[in-house]
Amino acid sequence: MKYLITVLVTSVVVFLAATVYYKGLPHFDSPVGVSVVSTEEGAPNTDSEAGKVTPPADDKTAIAETIKAALIKKYGPQSADISVSVSEVNGEYAKGMVTEQGGGGMWFAARLNGTWTLVWDGNGTITCDEISPFPDFPTSMIPECYSTPSGQIVTR
């Protein structure tokens, strides 16, 4: 009898372990009954005259849309299916990634007179000539640049 119970318990444990192994543990896509309250500082400002909502300066969605528009303007309407993401915002400067079918690259932007402006996009190292108009661009975002005259990588 003791042997039968041991075999039965072992069989159940093995069955459960195999089920978990092959099907995985259950996961829940979204919690039910949970309310989310934003506690972000710098909530959008409302312009009462025009009824427009101005996003805060570090709103990554607004920055991504602005950079996407600049890239489409630069490369033409055939590039409209690109995807732009913002990976970091540091004051008046931002960086992120752009992806498209078959590849992608990175971009850097600066906020000039309240408007986000594309500084550089591509792959590789930004040239020192391209970053020189922005001496305050954080070195944490662009730690080095390529000096065309010397052919060397320069630490900023």
pLDDT value of residue 49? 41
Phi, psi dihedrals of residue 140, rounded to the nearest 5°: -70, -25
Task: Please tell me the distance from the alpha carbon of residue 43 to that of residue 58, in angstroms, as a whole number.
Answer: 10
pLDDT digits (tens, 9 = 90+) for 59-111: 899 999 999 999 999 999 888 899 999 999 999 999 999 998 888 999 999 99
In three-state secondary structure terms, 46 is strand
Q: Is the dihedral of CA 3, 9, 14, 15 positive or negative?
A: positive
Per-residue pLDDT at 139 exceeds 80: yes
* pLDDT at position 83: 94
- Domain ranges for the chain: 51-155
The tens digit of pLDDT for each residue in 7-27 reads: 878 887 777 776 666 665 554
pTM above 0.75, yes or no: no
- What pLDDT is attached to residue 35? 45
